[in-house]
């Protein structure tokens, strides 16, 4: 058992050191906590719960699509399935995921602060998320919604007979959770960095979360007010989006996508940050082109606001504005590509270690690249006209959101699990799970590119007029089952590790970053003395000079 | 941008956490290194929040812009039926309230407790006057059946400057929808503002504010000014379309 | 923000206050004149001047100790104009489609 690093002098000589997990016991000490680390765990439980719900809907969708006929559920039910799969996964899993769990846990630690700037607002964020989640659950249990997660008018405002307003309000409330998290991060990163922690020494995880927060802050309010308009229109038949009353359905789409496109950057930017951390650690090198990668996060955040109408190429907007948005959509790919190039350059001549987090990072690298490139296909109006509303689009965004964001999330969870829980997860099982996830993912979603390209429309529960698509659909469903197993495994062994896992040293990976200078798990107030930073980020050459062993080695004394 | 400004704790300090040599202010929260950091965080937090509010109202301004361009004559007709003088009065009321707010902040900075309390009370009274006048306007609209919904009617209203043309009721309903949503959302923010200022008043009455610490007054003031700025734009856009005709 | 120079800010506050009232009167007056297409532009210009006065002097953006405050204000305006402007690229060019 490795010796823990310098124990805080005032902690009594108890068998177990005091940390944020055992500092206080009792349900209320968790439900009324203002400790960012505990709030992160509250989020972890909540979003995992919603992940199961969204996954359940995905399972039903894939089961229906095993056969060309619509024989599992009715058409209306199928509409509800894909709608609620989308709403739950986007608003109650992906948008919070990395920021609310890993961001909340790590941002103060990484910058050397005791907590976020506004701990009580952090707790409020979680409660808003829960309230929105309960409303969404109620909405689902009382008939669901069938508008698609995109709520398009006038179907959502005039014709749908489902719980549109309730779903909209649930997302409205959850949106404020997102806004407040973003607010907390921006103020924290500006104001609470430890002495010596200049912007150019910040981990790229922090840059990524800063960029994410900008998007959350400036985009979500537009969605909020749009949902208010939808609710008002539905209740009072105002005519704002109703063509029969002089309204423009496209205005809804403009306002909706103004948020919802940047929203996808909320979902991927944090994962891009995680990727930088993992690649640096497991190639034992500073990220190549640190400044470029840092600024590319900001560029993605800003450019992400310029491209929304590429979701509307066939909706009836003017061709000229479509040209403008198409061009801008190409531009937004550039900062993402810069990241991929820089990660690749980091790997070159790095000392690569294939621990589980790195396996997820490699998977991310490939899948994010494919997802991003297929985005360029869609940015070309000519191609988009053919593949819009087909499975090509579905495959594209799942490559980024599942192949990218979820794998980034899992990689991050593995990387920081020792810090969060104080325990080591079983590495063998973790590598196996990563492999299963990768295989399952590709089996699920690659066929969907082919399906879309060949013309299978999305959101159809019955494709009996195109029975030749069945084989690819069967492959996709099979892949989904494998993927499900891959997701289940980490949940099981993380839980197992909390009880039976080996205690983790402070820095099992010998990684760079202030969070690794605290005990695993950290004490409630993170640092006994405010750290003073005098070194650059990713100082792996310094960290590795005393011992050139594998970063995983428990025998490696913690570098301080 | 600012970390070098904060001094680090002495390396041989035996104090745990953030307690510096000077006695810290009772209002200092534990996770902050010092009062300056807390104050700067609160200020930045409010400014960032106001940025989100700009986007929140922004969506409505976008809808307004689209439909005003499309249906200008109908918007002009609809706008001519709302009471410009009540709107102008409300604008003046809010401008006065912004003055009382800066006076309150100055009073807090300069330890003038009486002026602080008076200014806060005046701000609230002006805010309530604003809401009262709004209520009168809404009642007028209600009586004229200009509230969107089942009982909306806008027949035979002339387009300003075109005596032979009548406004399209559907398009007029869009105007009134935007009118009610925009001014309603604004009024909701006013009500929240009144709540905030009531809380500030209570704190001021208890003597909690000092020249060293009066952050809530400052950031409450920022919020109130923002609500004023929104109205500064709403007034000409909603009340003054084609008034010369 | 809390550290003002030796002279009192009160004269500035009252000057801005009167300017705002004058601006309001001007807006109403200008609305009664037929300026054709420029009525909207004049109204919005006056409104923007008023808003700028409130921001600079009442909200203390002028003389703010950090550039960050100004950056936040500019960022908010930038994204608002983006929303309005890019949306309008669609509506303004539709007649040509």
Q: What is the pLDDT of residues A226-240, one digit of tens each?
A: 999 999 999 888 889
Nearest to A278 by CA among A519, A545, A551, A560: A551
pLDDT at A380 over 70: yes
Of B13, B41, B70, the CB nearest to A191: B41
How many beta-carbon contacts under 8 Å exist across B and C? 126
Report the alpha-carbon distance of residue B24 to residue B17 in Å, rounded: 13
Crossing angle for the helix pair A290-303 and A249-283, to the nearest 10 degrees: 170
Nearest to B61 by CA among B178, B188, B185, B148: B178
- Over residues A315-357, the pLDDT tens digits come to 999 999 999 999 999 999 999 999 999 999 999 999 999 999 9
pLDDT at A3 over 60: no
| One domain, residues C51 and C17 | yes
pLDDT of residue B218: 95
Q: Are A241 and B174 in contact (CB under 8 A)?
A: no
Question: Quick one: how far is CA C75 from the chain centroid?
Answer: 14
Q: Do you find a cis peptide bond into A193, omega within 30 degrees of 0? A: no
| CB atoms A222 and C68 under 8 Å | no
- Assign A546 a pLDDT band (cuts: 50, 70, 90): low
Of residues A326 and A528, more confidently modeled:
A326
- Over residues B110-147, the pLDDT tens digits come to 999 999 999 999 999 999 999 999 999 999 999 999 99
pLDDT at B6 over 90: no
What average pLDDT score do residues A63-85 get?
A: 95
What average pLDDT score do residues B64-82 get?
A: 94
| CB atoms A258 and C89 under 8 Å | no
| One domain, residues C17 and C58 | yes
Nearest to A17 by CA among A5, A7, A6: A7
What the block records as the tokens of A546 is 């005393």
Q: Nearest residue on chain C to B234, judged by CA atoms?
A: C47
| One domain, residues C49 and C96 | no
Neighbours of chain A (3+ CB pairs under 8 A): B, C
pLDDT of residue C63: 80
Of C44, C54, C87, the CB nearest to B228: C54
Domain with A116, as residue range(s), is 37-544
Phi and psi at residue B29, to the nearest 5°: -85, 150
pLDDT of residue B24: 61
CATH class of B56-239: mainly alpha
- Over residues A421-431, the pLDDT tens digits come to 999 999 999 99
CATH number at residue A378: 1.20.210.10
| CB atoms C90 and A319 under 8 Å | no
Token pair 């100055």 is at which residue?
B106
Chain C contact for A324 (CB, 8 A cutoff): yes
Tell me chain A's radius of gyration from C-alpha atoms.
23
- Over residues A240-290, the pLDDT tens digits come to 999 999 999 999 999 999 999 999 999 999 999 999 999 999 999 999 999
The interface residues of chain B toward chain C in range 83-142, judged by CB-CB distance below 8 A, are 84, 88, 91-92, 95-96, 98-99, 101-103, 106, 109
- Write down the domain spans for chain B: 56-239
| CB atoms A318 and C87 under 8 Å | no
**Helical (H) or strand (E) element with A97:** helix A97-98
- Assign C36 a pLDDT band (cuts: 50, 70, 90): confident
Strand blocks (E) in A132-287: none
pLDDT of residue A448: 97
Contacts of A207 (CB under 8 A, 6+ apart): A273, A293, A294, A297, A298
pLDDT of residue B23: 54
The whole model's pTM is what? Answer: 0.92
Report the alpha-carbon distance of residue B237 to residue C27 in Å, rounded: 11
Report the alpha-carbon distance of residue A514 to residue C37 in Å, rounded: 60
Report the alpha-carbon distance of residue A66 to residue A62 in Å, rounded: 6
Report the alpha-carbon distance of residue A124 to residue A252 in Å, rounded: 30
Neighbours of chain B (3+ CB pairs under 8 A): A, C
What average pLDDT score do residues B16-41 get?
A: 72
Tell me chain B's radius of gyration from C-alpha atoms.
24
Of A214, A218, A254, the CB nearest to C90: A254
pLDDT of residue A60: 97
| One domain, residues C26 and C73 | no
| One domain, residues C60 and C89 | no
Q: Nearest residue on chain A to C80, judged by CA atoms?
A: A218
Number of domains in chain A: 1
Number of domains in chain C: 2
Chain A nearest-CA distance from B230, in A, is 15
pLDDT, mean over chain B = 89
Q: Note the helical H segments in B14-83.
A: 35-70, 72-80
Percent share of chain C, pLDDT over 90:
72
Greatest distance between any 2 Cα atoms in chain A: 76
Q: Are A520 and A106 in contact (CB under 8 A)?
A: no
Burial class (CB in 10 A: 0-12, 13-18, 19+), A187: buried
pLDDT of residue C6: 52
What the block records as the tokens of B178 is 């935007």
Chain C contact for A130 (CB, 8 A cutoff): no
Q: What pairing do the DSSP bridges indicate for beta strands B162-166 and B158-159?
A: antiparallel
Question: Could you report the predicted ipTM of this complex, rounded to two decimals?
Answer: 0.91
Token pair 């000057």 is at which residue?
C15
Contacts of A456 (CB under 8 A, 6+ apart): A390, A391, A463, A466, A469
Q: Nearest residue on chain A to B57, judged by CA atoms?
A: A225
Nearest to A522 by CA among A199, A140, A108: A108
Chain A nearest-CA distance from B180, in A, is 11
| CB atoms B225 and C43 under 8 Å | no
pLDDT at A143 over 70: yes
Percent share of chain A, pLDDT over 90:
90
Q: Are A63 and A465 in contact (CB under 8 A)?
A: no
What average pLDDT score do residues A191-217 get?
A: 96
pLDDT, mean over chain A = 93
Q: Are B101 and B95 in contact (CB under 8 A)?
A: no
pLDDT at A2 over 60: no
Beta bridge partners of A457: A390
Domain with C97, as residue range(s), is 66-97
Residues of B in contact with A525 (CB under 8 A): 17, 30-31
Burial class (CB in 10 A: 0-12, 13-18, 19+), A244: exposed
| One domain, residues C3 and C42 | yes
What the block records as the tokens of C81 is 């104009």
Report the alpha-carbon distance of residue A134 to residue A142 in Å, rounded: 12
What would the DSSP string read from start to end of A379-392?
A: HSHHHHHHHTTBHH
Q: Are A189 and B45 in contact (CB under 8 A)?
A: no
**Helical (H) or strand (E) element with B159:** strand B158-159
pLDDT of residue A327: 96
Residues of B in contact with C72 (CB under 8 A): 44, 47-48, 50-51
Report the alpha-carbon distance of residue A378 to residue A376 in Å, rounded: 5
Beta bridge partners of B159: B162
pLDDT at C76 over 60: yes
pLDDT of residue A545: 83
Of A222, A250, A321, the CB nearest to C83: A222
Phi and psi at residue B159, to the nearest 5°: -75, 130
Of B47, B225, B240, the CB nearest to C27: B240
pLDDT at B13 over 60: no
pLDDT of residue A528: 85
- Assign A15 a pLDDT band (cuts: 50, 70, 90): very low
Report the alpha-carbon distance of residue B222 to residue A467 in Å, rounded: 63
Beta bridge partners of A271: none
Asked whether residue A26 is assigned to any structural domain, the reply reads no
- Over residues A482-496, the pLDDT tens digits come to 999 999 999 999 999
Q: Is B165 helix (H, G, I), strand (E, B) or coil?
A: strand
What average pLDDT score do residues A175-193 get?
A: 97
Of residues A172 and A547, more confidently modeled:
A172
What the block records as the tokens of B182 is 């925009």
């Amino acid at each position: 058992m490795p010796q823990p690093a310098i124990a805080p002098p005032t902690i009594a000589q108890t068998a177990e050191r005091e940390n944020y997990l055992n500092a206080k016991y009792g349900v209320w000490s968790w439900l009324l906590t203002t400790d960012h680390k505990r709030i992160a765990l509250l989020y972890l439980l909540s979003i995992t719960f919603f992940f199961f719900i969204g996954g359940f809907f995905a399972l039903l969708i894939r089961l229906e699509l095993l056969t060309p006929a619509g024989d599992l559920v009715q058409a209306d039910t199928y509409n509800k399935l894909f709608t609620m799969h989308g709403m739950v996964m986007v608003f109650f899993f992906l948008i919070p995921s990395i920021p609310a769990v890993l961001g909340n846990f790590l941002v103060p630690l990484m910058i050397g602060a005791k907590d976020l700037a506004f701990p009580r607002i952090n707790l409020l964020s979680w409660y808003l998320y829960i309230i929105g989640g309960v409303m969404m659950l109620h909405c689902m249990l009382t008939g669901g919604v069938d508008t698609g997660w995109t709520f398009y008018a006038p179907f959502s405002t005039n014709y749908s007979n489902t719980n549109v307003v309730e779903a909209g309000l649930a997302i409205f409330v959850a949106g404020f959770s997102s806004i407040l998290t973003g607010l907390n991060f921006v103020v924290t990163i500006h104001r609470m960095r430890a002495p010596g922690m200049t912007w150019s020494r910040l981990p790229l995880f922090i840059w990524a979360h800063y960029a994410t927060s900008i998007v959350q802050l400036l985009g979500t309010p537009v969605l909020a007010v749009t949902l208010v308009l939808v609710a008002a229109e539905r209740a009072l038949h105002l005519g704002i989006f109703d063509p029969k009353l002089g309204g423009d359905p496209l205005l809804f789409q403009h306002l909706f996508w103004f948020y919802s496109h940047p929203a996808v950057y909320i979902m991927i930017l944090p994962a891009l940050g995680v990727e930088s951390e993992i690649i640096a650690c497991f190639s034992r090198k500073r990220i190549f082109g640190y400044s470029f990668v840092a600024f590319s996060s900001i560029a993605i955040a800003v450019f992400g606001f310029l491209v929304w109408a590429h979701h509307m190429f066939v909706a009836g907007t003017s061709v000229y504005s479509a040209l403008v948005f198409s061009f801008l959509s190409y531009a937004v790919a550039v900062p993402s590509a810069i990241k991929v190039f820089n990660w690749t350059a980091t790997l070159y001549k790095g000392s690569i270690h294939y621990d589980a987090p790195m396996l997820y990072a490699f998977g991310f690298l490939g899948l994010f690249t494919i997802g991003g490139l297929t985005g360029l296909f869609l940015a070309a109006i000519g191609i988009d006209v053919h593949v819009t509303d087909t499975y090509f689009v579905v495959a594209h965004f799942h490559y980024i959101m599942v192949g990218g964001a979820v794998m980034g999330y899992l990689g991050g969870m593995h990387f920081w699990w020792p810090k969060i829980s104080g325990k080591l997860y079983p590495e063998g099982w973790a590598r196996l799970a990563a492999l299963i996830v990768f295989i399952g993912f590709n089996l699920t979603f690659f066929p969907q590119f082919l399906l879309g390209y060949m013309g299978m429309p999305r959101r159809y529960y019955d494709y009996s007029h195109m029975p030749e698509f069945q084989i690819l659909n069967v492959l996709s469903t099979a892949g989904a089952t494998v993927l499900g197993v891959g997701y289940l495994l980490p949940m099981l062994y993380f839980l197992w590790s909390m009880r039976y896992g080996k205690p983790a040293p402070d820095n099992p990976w010998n990684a760079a970053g202030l969070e690794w200078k605290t005990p695993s798990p950290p004490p409630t107030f993170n640092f006994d003395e405010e750290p003073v930073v005098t070194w650059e980020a990713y100082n792996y050459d310094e960290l590795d000079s005393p011992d050139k062993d594998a970063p995983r080695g428990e025998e490696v004394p913690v570098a301080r | 941008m600012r970390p070098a400004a904060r001094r680090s704790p002495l390396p041989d300090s035996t104090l745990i956490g953030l307690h510096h040599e000077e006695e810290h202010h009772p209002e200092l929260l534990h996770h902050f290194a010092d009062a300056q950091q807390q104050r700067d965080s609160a200020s930045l937090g409010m400014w960032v929040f106001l940025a989100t509010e700009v986007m929140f109202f922004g969506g409505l301004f976008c809808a307004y812009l689209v439909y005003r361009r499309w249906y200008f004559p109908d918007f002009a007709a609809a706008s001519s039926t709302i009471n410009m003088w009540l709107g102008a009065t409300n604008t003046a009321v809010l401008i006065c309230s912004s003055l009382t707010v800066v006076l309150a902040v100055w009073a807090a900075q300069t330890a003038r407790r009486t002026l602080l309390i008076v200014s806060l009370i005046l701000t609230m009274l002006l805010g309530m006057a604003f809401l009262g006048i709004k209520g009168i306007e809404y009642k007028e609209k209600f009586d004229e059946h200009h509230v969107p919904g089942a009982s909306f009617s806008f027949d035979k209203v002339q387009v300003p400057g075109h005596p032979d043309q009548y406004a399209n009721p559907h398009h007029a309903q869009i105007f009134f929808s935007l009118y009610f949503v925009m001014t309603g959302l604004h009024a909701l923010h006013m009500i929240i503002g009144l709540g905030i200022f009531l809380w500030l008043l209570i704190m001021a009455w208890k003597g909690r504010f000092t020249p060293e610490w009066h952050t809530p007054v400052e950031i409450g003031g920022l919020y109130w000014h923002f609500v004023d700025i929104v109205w500064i734009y709403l007034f000409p856009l909603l009340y003054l379309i084609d008034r010369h005709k | 923000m809390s550290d003002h120079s030796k002279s009192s800010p009160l004269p500035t506050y009252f000057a801005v206050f009167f300017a705002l009232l004058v601006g309001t009167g001007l807006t109403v007056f200008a609305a009664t004149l037929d300026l054709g297409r420029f009525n909207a532009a004049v109204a919005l210009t006056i409104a923007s001047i008023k808003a700028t006065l409130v921001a600079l002097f009442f909200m203390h953006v002028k003389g703010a100790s950090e550039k960050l405050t100004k950056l936040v204000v500019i960022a908010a305006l930038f994204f608002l104009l983006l929303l309005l402007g890019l949306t309008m690229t669609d509506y303004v060019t539709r007649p040509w489609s």
